[in-house]
Amino acid sequence: MIRITPDALNPHEVTELVRKPSNGAVVTFLGTTRDLFEGRDVDHLEYEAYQPMAENMLQQIVDEIRERWAIEDVAIAHRVGRVDVGEISLVVAIGSPHRKEALEASAYMLDRIKTMVPIWKKEVFQGGEVWVGSQSESAATPPVT
């Protein structure tokens, strides 16, 4: 399952998609909005995505995981729009017969999402805002949409 949505994410629902009797390990990662960024109090985040391409890139990463670790059970949900402090913006769940592969695949998934998927994050803080992207962690201009 790959989902990009403006709706609140339910980590239990995403995790249940990868729980099976054959999986001895289930790893779920939650990306949440923190209250501080580079010494500034964060009010909220705003995510934008080029959705068709983002979904295709997420599928490519899932395919890479399936090939590299022979893991079939992968579920990803990413928020777009406003995400307040403490709210979940990303859920990655991986089910595998063994923990090592599930943990490795989870870390791989997160690194690949950050570097290749066209989803952009704007940090909105007291007194300003900044776009944070995979190419430059301090990019100050929004993506072209």
pLDDT in tens, 129-141: 888 864 444 333 3
The strand pairing partners of 131, in sequence order, are: 122
d(CA 122, CA 127): 14
In this prediction, residue 38 carries a pLDDT of 80
DSSP state of 6: S
- Tell me whether residue 79 is in a domain: yes
Residue 92 in domain: yes
CATH number for position 57: 3.90.1170.40
Residues contacting residue 74 through CB under 8 Å, at least 6 positions apart: 18, 62, 65, 66, 92, 93, 94, 95, 105, 109
* pLDDT value of position 27: 98
Q: Angle, to 10 degrees, between the axis of helix 51-69 and the axis of helix 99-116?
A: 150
Per-residue model confidence as pLDDT tens digits over 53-107: 999 999 999 999 999 999 999 999 999 999 999 999 999 999 999 999 999 999 9
Number of domains in the chain: 1
Range(s) of the domain holding residue 7: 2-128
* The model's pTM: 0.86
